[in-house]
Amino acid sequence: MILWALLAALGLGGVITGSPTVTAPPDAASHTHAETVEESKNSERVKGISAKPAVVGTVEETIEVVMELGELNPNHYPAQRAAKVVEHYLNTQHGSPYKVFTLHRVLSASAEDVPDSGRKYQLKLSVQESVHHQTIEECLAEVLFPTGESHAPPQVQVSSCEDLLKINVTVQEENLYQQYKRNDSHLFAQNLPDSYGHMEPEHVPFWHLGIVVSSFVMLSESTQDTLYNMAQVANVSQLATEDNLLKFDYDVLLHERVSQEIFAWKMLVTWSPSDGVKVLKMEKKDYTVKNLKITLL
């Protein structure tokens, strides 16, 4: 069940079909069983969505105007994209192999342009802690996408979801840490999850950690025109260290849902229960995904 919930939380279902400007609200209930992202399809997709209100068809084929300023429809892309950034932010601040935050639902959203600053979103959203997936809490958040060419990452502030952050995973973290700290046969794993949606139970914490480290990239790469999910941990290997930290080399595949592109990133990270997750290095890889098949259980 945990696995299922987490795979569903990847948000890879609900394939966006039809014209390139179709908006499909991410909906946990509408996951398809498999999604094949092929390179040939990518070229037909339009990158981003125009800043003007656009006429779009939803999955139900109704025609609606997507508002991009003022009160927003919580299910439309502008609100969803801003809320997704909150998920990435929470993971960078509080994530661990036993704590992974996932956007559950956008409850309300509004956007305004702040002169010389950027576009600011006020959001009320519910967030799920996916490892203990019965835990869902409402949070208030503010996301500012800075203007300008510098491509500065969005600035995020979150309040009022303290209970979610207080989930106590001390015992699990300590067990994992002890196991891999004293273990000479260092962790090495590939394809978490594999194309059948499967992974070994002992690899699950490193898949979670992969989502958390990916959030560092996804937070810094996010703009108003992106919706990132971690698709797969392609490789993870543990490296020897002199200090008290566990050190990992991750190759992750990130799925950008608006363009339907897959990006590969290499990350060098450390983790320990007391120090949390630290990213030492992140580097975009020159990598072409030919035919990645991700199966949702």
Residues that bind ligand NAG (CB under 6 A): 168, 170-171, 179, 183, 185, 187, 202, 234-235, 251, 253, 264, 285, 287
Q: How many residues appear in the chain?
A: 297
Nearest distance in Å: CB 57, ligand NAG: 34
Tokens representing 233 are: 């941990």
For ligand NAG, the closer of residues 151 and 290 by Cβ is 290
Rounded CA gap, 12 and 222, in Å?
A: 17
Rounded CA gap, 136 and 126, in Å?
A: 6
Nearest distance in Å: CB 251, ligand NAG: 3
Rounded CA gap, 72 and 110, in Å?
A: 5
Tokens representing 94 are: 């509080």
For ligand NAG, the closer of residues 152 and 280 by Cβ is 280
Nearest distance in Å: CB 250, ligand NAG: 9
| Under 8 Å between Cβ of 255 and 214 | no
For ligand NAG, the closer of residues 234 and 258 by Cβ is 234
Nearest distance in Å: CB 226, ligand NAG: 20
Rounded CA gap, 157 and 133, in Å?
A: 23
3 state DSSP class of 177? helix
**Position 152: which residue type?**
A
Chain-centroid distance, C-alpha 211? 7
For ligand NAG, the closer of residues 117 and 179 by Cβ is 179
Nearest distance in Å: CB 141, ligand NAG: 24
